[in-house]
Structure 1
Amino acid sequence: MSKAGFANTVSLTFESFGLSHRGRVRQINEDGFLMDPASGVWLVADGMGGHDAGEVASASIVEQMSGLTAVHSAPELLAQFEDRIARAHSKIRRLSTARGGVTIGSTVAALLAFDGRYACLWSGDSRIYLVRDGAITQVSRDHSEVQELLDRGMIDPAEAQSWPRRNVITRAIGVTEDVEIDAMQSETLPGDVFVLNTDGLTAHVSDEEIREAVTGHSAQQSCEHLLELVLSRGATDNVTVVIVKVHEAETTRRGTNGPF
């Protein structure tokens, strides 16, 4: 378990825990994750590409994001994140070129937290959920073929669950010439729980089950329970879960310094 407080104007602490498993079908684990509470960064990544390239792609994102330097503002943290993602993107592109132009890439779903604000950034179908006041919301929006079909009204949610190409994604780091990533931001509140996961979780576990798993339990207990659920249901893909629980520190809150 990782816990860290920020020396800033908002007295919040972050309790986080992460797990990754190759599942019961895949031979290798192409997922990766990072937890850096001191910097205010958590992320999951799901690699794609044959001959271990997917593993290299997700590892490139984790490696580039490791060891962020100290920042003094939310915009500075965001800029540093974007710079590191761009470096990982370039590295993956070079690997693709070296292997004859084969498609290599990785999803990413990241949470940044600083001065009482958070930003969620994502590319691909790895997800970010927020559980607040007993309700669960999917913050990210899948970049996937099945999501596009849902948006166009061509299939309904029930059909989406069994859609034969539900794992086809439309964005990933390293795949297109430029980095394509979506973002949203808002205020962080005590009691918030963020769940970052690769699609190996949501292939077997519902949003309601995620909400139940994180309610009233530690980040570690929640992660372990969700992994047990996936494994008990076949675990057809790699699965990675990172849970971040926000607590109010004993010191008095004094406001925020502004948005990302």
Structure 2
Amino acid sequence: MTDTSLIFESGAASDVGKVRKVNEDSFLVRAGSGLWCVSDGMGGHEAGRLASTMIVEALSTVEPQEAAAGLLSECDRRLSVVNHRLRRIASDRNYEVVGATVVVLLIHGHSYACLWSGDSRIYRVRGGALTQLTRDHSEAEELVQRGIMTREEVKHWPRRNVITRAIGVADLPEVEIVNGSVEPGDSYVLCSDGLTNHVADPEIASIVAEFDVQTACDRLVALTLERGAKDNVTVVVARAQRREPTLIDPGGAAKANWDVGA
């Protein structure tokens, strides 16, 4: 039996922007482990940079796993450990908060899982069409979901950047998870809100569909800088490509089971 296994091309770009003095974004690309991450720090006093760096460093130690559930469990465990450490640092240094948003893309076989906390995002571009896989953990998104304000109205709302979840802000991390299937040609875009505050979804879709992964990252960051880049901006793109068919076990291409209780 043959299986069209997938390989992933990855690109990444990050910039401090036009206003901030410190880049508090961090990112991770570990295609061999099926893991990509973007984290956007918060807290001031360079605490945000510390928080995002600690999250990325913790996730960088995740090794390839035989089962999808194992990969998910390892990431979840490391985020819990980092959350505890950030809470302790904030207490020791008398900071109000030391935290960071995080989005993590996990790939196992022909399946993906997205883990996130905060308003950094993961998009998928498939056949030129863009889908936002994550849902912002923000006051603005809650108002939209409740029908109180429209998406156009919240763009001008003074509290549009106030987030409701992040690693390090609560005693236990609040992480949301979604999963689905990967198809050859799919591109996954991980980004901090520094990108989405300046670049519209159709523009993201067009650039990612047209260019190779590294060029797409570079162009998205450059476009953000052209438009003022009021925040740090980070973009990671991972694209699924077909590998030459090889003989495998008949069950090898089965959909991954992300249930850690399985």
TMscore range, shorter length: over 0.9
Q: Which residue of the partner structure matches residue 4 of structure 1?
A: none
How far off its partner does 1:98 sit?
Answer: 0.7
How far off its partner does 1:203 sit?
Answer: 0.3
Q: Which residue of the partner structure matches residue 25 of structure 1?
A: 19
Q: Which residue of the partner structure matches residue 199 of structure 1?
A: 193
* 1:132 is the counterpart of 2:130: no
Q: Which residue of the partner structure matches residue 44 of structure 2?
A: 50
Alignment partner of 1:123 out of 113, 117, 123 = 117
Instruction: Give deviations 1:109-142, integer Å, cap 9, x for gaps.
Output: 1100011110001100000001112211110000
Matches within 5 A, 1:158-237: 158-237=152-231
Q: Which residue of the partner structure matches residue 244 of structure 2?
A: 250
Q: Which residue of the partner structure matches residue 5 of structure 1?
A: none
Q: 1:206 and 1:19 mapped to 2: Cα distance?
A: 18
Instruction: Give deviations 1:17-54, integer Å, cap 9, x for gaps.
Output: 11111100001011100000111000100010021101
How far off its partner does 1:70 sit?
Answer: 3.2
Gaps of at least 5 residues in structure 1 are: 1-8
Q: Which residue of the partner structure matches residue 6 of structure 1?
A: none
How far off its partner does 1:159 sit?
Answer: 1.0
Distance change in 2, residues 1:183/1:115 (3 Å): same
Alignment partner of 1:93 out of 62, 87, 96 = 87
Distance change in 2, residues 1:10/1:113 (3 Å): farther
For the 8 Å contact 1:45–1:107, the answer to whether it is kept is yes
For the 8 Å contact 1:122–1:182, the answer to whether it is kept is yes
Structure 1 residue runs of 4 or more that deviate by more than 3 Å after TM superposition: none
Quick one: percent identity of the two aligned structures? 46
* 1:69 is the counterpart of 2:67: no
For the 8 Å contact 2:108–2:256, the answer to whether it is kept is no
- Paired amino acid for 1:256: A
For the 8 Å contact 1:10–1:116, the answer to whether it is kept is no
Q: 1:249 and 1:69 mapped to 2: Cα distance?
A: 22
How far off its partner does 1:255 sit?
Answer: 2.2
How far off its partner does 1:258 sit?
Answer: 2.9
Q: Which residue of the partner structure matches residue 259 of structure 1?
A: 257
How far off its partner does 1:157 sit?
Answer: 1.2
Q: The residue matched to 1:87 in structure 2 has which SS?
A: helix
* 1:151 is the counterpart of 2:149: no
Gaps of at least 5 residues in structure 2 are: none
- Paired amino acid for 1:155: M
Q: The residue matched to 2:33 in structure 1 has which SS?
A: coil
For the 8 Å contact 2:4–2:244, the answer to whether it is kept is no
Q: 1:167 and 1:70 mapped to 2: Cα distance?
A: 35
For the 8 Å contact 1:186–1:259, the answer to whether it is kept is no
Q: 1:154 and 1:170 mapped to 2: Cα distance?
A: 17
User: What TM-score comes out, normalization by structure 2 length?
Assistant: 0.93
Q: The residue matched to 1:215 in structure 2 has which SS?
A: helix
Q: 1:257 and 1:214 mapped to 2: Cα distance?
A: 26
Q: Which residue of the partner structure matches residue 241 of structure 1?
A: 235
For the 8 Å contact 2:34–2:64, the answer to whether it is kept is no
* 1:103 is the counterpart of 2:97: yes
For the 8 Å contact 2:165–2:174, the answer to whether it is kept is yes
